Structure 1
Amino acid sequence: MCHCNSKCSQYDNCCSDYEALCNGLSCQGRCGETYNSQNKCHCNIKCGDYNNCCSDYTSLCGSSGGGDGGSDITDAEIKSMSEALYALDSNKPSASELIIDSQARVPDSQTSSQNDLSPRPLFQFLDEASLFSKPSYAAFMALLDNYERNTGITEDFTPQQLAEQDTFLREAMSNTELGRELYAFLFTKGRYSSEEEFLHDLKMMCHSFDGPWTSYPDVLGMQFMWGGYFKQVGSSIIGCSPEFDLAVYSLCYITRPGKQCKLSLGGKPLVIQTYTWDKSSYGNGKKYIGSAFPATP
């Protein structure tokens, strides 16, 4: 006779499947469960992305996890969702709050030149008092000094910095109609089973999102210097809120990881390109966004 109680290990009479079934290391009866950060291993569709599936996940749940991220979500549905997010972006700057001075247009033949053909500031006017007092903007600004600019350097977050990440996700996603709309869409498509799982996924994306965001919405291609390094060609969405940027880039990475993602904003087409960083030397093989940016309209 074998036993399945807390004392069986002491008396060496545990059943053979005790460790797996009673200590949460098996997917028996757990396939498709809601994400719980306290679990030792997981049995949901995202566990393959984070290399934390239980050892019997594939045999019991019939999937290796991960995958292409959104093969059941059509291009038409993505375009419809992007239009919905565009319409719900109530926190975007007004024409009086943000004025840009685009200056010189650089032809393709001169993109390798490091001559500054636009010496004036890009942002002619930005109403910082109005915009930066909004909860999602203020929460985003608090993140800007939390990360290492160079890749390959381990980031050791303080309790305050971790709290700032949670605050931003709450203000940008949980507390905005735009964020709730994105979660509802991904929930109905089976990508997430709980808001906790959704926010945990977005938290893993935050470092890649941290970058130029102050963007009518419109798309601007540009050259710039950052930290002493020259960017020959870059692009950014101009004139949207932080939550809109996070939402559209996340929508594209979740549904079209490593591919071109076709959106529609106010009836105008936009393509977002994402790339996945899955090197074993960074993040123990977990999948992160390598980059996400506007490609061609």
Structure 2
Amino acid sequence: MIAAARKLWTLDENRLKPGVDYAINLQKGKAIWQRGDHAPEPLFKGVKREIWTKPTFVIFYNLLDNYERETGVSEVETAQEKKEISDFLDACLRTKVMQYTHKYCAKKGKAPADVAGFKKLLHNMWFSFYRRDGEGNDSCGFEHVFVGESKGEAITGFHNWIQFYIEEARKHVDYLGYVRPKHGRDDADNEDRLISVQFAWKGEEKNVSTFFVGTSPEFELALYTMCFLCSEEEKTFLEIGPYDLNIVCYRIRSKYGDKVATAYPDLLGEDPSNEFQHLTIN
């Protein structure tokens, strides 16, 4: 799967360029156990408006306000929200990264060969509601991973840079500093594409959240889907760009098909030689 993940990275045509399409300001790093605000300035200095001309970015944005923030509060899905989900999956399925993921998973026998069947599988995995906390269906994989949830006084999930950028611009997120990688160099720079951060969201803190920066919504959905469907392990080691990482996936077991409980990157370190590995997978 390492070669397949590298292939996805090269196929992500909608990925933004650091310093060109967006700029971040990491500021001071910290160890994972350290608390307090190490970053007086926001994480994002800016993102070009042109990103909202990309169909998957626009439809992804429309999905972000569809969910109840608190776990334990039952979700209610409107007809408009159902259409937004269908439109988002259709837009993703038109991209090279998701088409490659479909082909890869179908070849492994983990997904239907037809597009309609694969879309139905994606919908069940990511958007079908289940009970996380309380008595009603209060969560789904997409909400947890890409939007984030509040449980008690803690933030869970929230592993997407677009959601972070939007909520920070609205003054709902307070960036508290980046968390140094477990291995490799001790610092980071403002062109890093995978970062671990601490932040507070509407006053509730997330001790560490790792997410890609500048990647397209379809790339992240495709990568997590591939690992969820095709790996037997909860942690799948990959080399993407210059990064050594695990993709961590947990599932909700169901007789109607497993659903995503969470999926996120776990940054292990950086190895620049990864970017120059030869791709041998079709």
Q: TM-score of the superposition, structure 2-length normalised?
A: 0.69
The amino acid across from 2:196 in the alignment is G
The amino acid across from 2:238 in the alignment is L
Q: Residues 84, 286 of structure 1: CA spacing in aligned structure 2 closer, same or farther, 3 A cutoff?
A: closer
The amino acid across from 1:98 in the alignment is Y
Query: CA contact under 8 A between 1:258 and 1:275: conserved in structure 2?
Result: no
Deviation at 1:217, TM superposition (A): 6.7
Deviation at 1:271, TM superposition (A): 1.0
Deviation at 1:226, TM superposition (A): 1.6
- The separation in 1 between residues aligned to 2:72 and 2:228, in whole angstroms, is 22
Aligned-partner SS, 1:136: helix
Per-residue CA deviations over 1:144-167 (Å, capped at 9, x if unaligned) read 111122223322211110000011
The equivalent residue for 1:136 is 56
The amino acid across from 1:122 in the alignment is L
Aligned-partner SS, 1:154: coil
The equivalent residue for 1:165 is 85
Q: Which has the higher strand share?
A: 2
1:292 aligns with 2:253: no
Aligned-partner SS, 1:191: coil
1:81 aligns with 2:41: no
Q: Residues 245, 190 of structure 1: CA spacing in aligned structure 2 closer, same or farther, 3 A cutoff?
A: same
Aligned-partner SS, 1:203: helix
Deviation at 1:201, TM superposition (A): 2.2
The amino acid across from 1:105 in the alignment is G
Aligned-partner SS, 1:163: helix
1:252 aligns with 2:227: yes
Q: Extract unaligned runs of 5+ from structure 2.
A: 127-141, 148-158, 163-190, 269-282
> 211-220 or 236-245: which moved more?
211-220
Match of 1:185 among 90, 99, 104: 104
Q: Residues 287, 150 of structure 1: CA spacing in aligned structure 2 closer, same or farther, 3 A cutoff?
A: farther
Match of 2:123 among 168, 183, 203: 203
The equivalent residue for 2:67 is 147
The equivalent residue for 1:29 is none
Query: CA contact under 8 A between 2:32 and 2:208: conserved in structure 1?
Result: no
Q: Residues 295, 199 of structure 1: CA spacing in aligned structure 2 closer, same or farther, 3 A cutoff?
A: same
1:106 aligns with 2:106: no
Query: CA contact under 8 A between 1:137 and 1:241: conserved in structure 2?
Result: yes
- The separation in 1 between residues aligned to 2:249 and 2:214, in whole angstroms, is 21
- The separation in 2 between residues aligned to 1:192 and 1:284, in whole angstroms, is 16
Query: CA contact under 8 A between 2:194 and 2:267: conserved in structure 1?
Result: no
- The separation in 2 between residues aligned to 1:107 and 1:217, in whole angstroms, is 18
Deviation at 1:200, TM superposition (A): 1.7
Alignment RMSD (CA, Å)? 2.1
Match of 1:243 among 218, 242, 252: 218
- The separation in 2 between residues aligned to 1:182 and 1:289, in whole angstroms, is 17
- The separation in 2 between residues aligned to 1:287 and 1:150, in whole angstroms, is 23
1:175 aligns with 2:94: yes
The equivalent residue for 1:49 is none
Match of 1:213 among 153, 160, 172: 160
- The separation in 1 between residues aligned to 2:109 and 2:69, in whole angstroms, is 34
Query: CA contact under 8 A between 1:217 and 1:239: conserved in structure 2?
Result: no
- The separation in 1 between residues aligned to 2:240 and 2:251, in whole angstroms, is 24
Match of 1:120 among 36, 41, 50: 41
- The separation in 2 between residues aligned to 1:226 and 1:284, in whole angstroms, is 35
Q: Extract unaligned runs of 5+ from structure 1.
A: 1-77
Query: CA contact under 8 A between 1:252 and 1:261: conserved in structure 2?
Result: yes
The amino acid across from 1:207 in the alignment is E
Deviation at 1:267, TM superposition (A): 5.4
- The separation in 1 between residues aligned to 2:27 and 2:192, in whole angstroms, is 18
Per-residue CA deviations over 1:237-282 (Å, capped at 9, x if unaligned) read 112111111111111111236610122213542211111234xxxx
Percent sequence identity is 27
Aligned-partner SS, 2:53: coil
- The separation in 1 between residues aligned to 2:30 and 2:50, in whole angstroms, is 33
